[in-house]
Amino acid sequence: MTWDDIEEIIFDGSQEDIRSLACPSCGSSIIISYTEQTASLMHKCKGCGLISRYNNVAYTPNAVIYFGNNFTTQPKQVRVP
């Protein structure tokens, strides 16, 4: 899985797909944050710290609809880097 795949799932994935997301680099949980006022999305790996930010996203991501504005994924199996 790539970060592009992660972003696609954050926006359009099912609850289970979003909940189980893991960093493609290290396997750790991913923190997803959304700010409604600016339609800004951020996702960050809890393990390796890779971070992506987007401003003025076109629509509210499914991750936000299902889990709220701040959510940390729960991968089924977390790898230790």
Q: Establish if 50 belongs to a structural domain.
A: yes
Give pTM, 2 decimals: 0.89
Q: Establish if 16 belongs to a structural domain.
A: yes
Q: What is the total count of domains within the chain? A: 1
Confidence of residue 76 (pLDDT cuts 50, 70, 90): confident
Confidence of residue 80 (pLDDT cuts 50, 70, 90): low
Given this model, what pLDDT does residue 79 score? Answer: 53
Q: Establish if 79 belongs to a structural domain.
A: no
* Structural domain of 68: 3-72
Q: Establish if 78 belongs to a structural domain.
A: no
Q: Establish if 80 belongs to a structural domain.
A: no
Mean pLDDT of 67-77: 93
User: CB count, 10 Å around CB of 31?
Assistant: 15
What pLDDT digit, counting tens, does each position of 34-56 carry?
999 999 999 999 999 999 999 99
CATH code of the domain covering residue 14: 2.20.25
Nearest to 72 by CA among 5, 10, 2, 13: 10
Q: Establish if 81 belongs to a structural domain.
A: no
